[in-house]
Amino acid sequence: MSPDAAGLPELQAGVWRHWKGADYLVLGLGHDADVDGRTVVVYVPLYDVPGPRLAVRTVGGFLEEVSPGVPRFAYRGPA
């Protein structure tokens, strides 16, 4: 993903598939109010989970590969 003018990656909102097979709805990017400069991806699992529905992960963690050629999340399309 290429960065935008603010230096943030362009991350499509929509449905993303985790490498283990579950789908998630990415709402967009957010910031960590306690850590300057930490940008997070805000997303919702598209399956039942106990507890809070919203999840966050650092942009780096969201976009990283879990093994060579295998991204943690892959964009599937718009919601």
Query: 14-70, pLDDT tens digit by residue?
Result: 999 999 999 999 999 999 999 998 999 999 999 999 999 999 999 999 999 999 999
Cα Rg for the chain, rounded, in angstroms? Answer: 13
pLDDT of residue 5: 46
Query: 6-30, pLDDT tens digit by residue?
Result: 677 789 999 999 999 999 999 999 9
Domain residue spans of the chain: 20-73
Tell me how many helices (H) and strands (E) the chain has.
1, 7
Helical residues (DSSP H) of the chain, grouped into ranges: 59-63
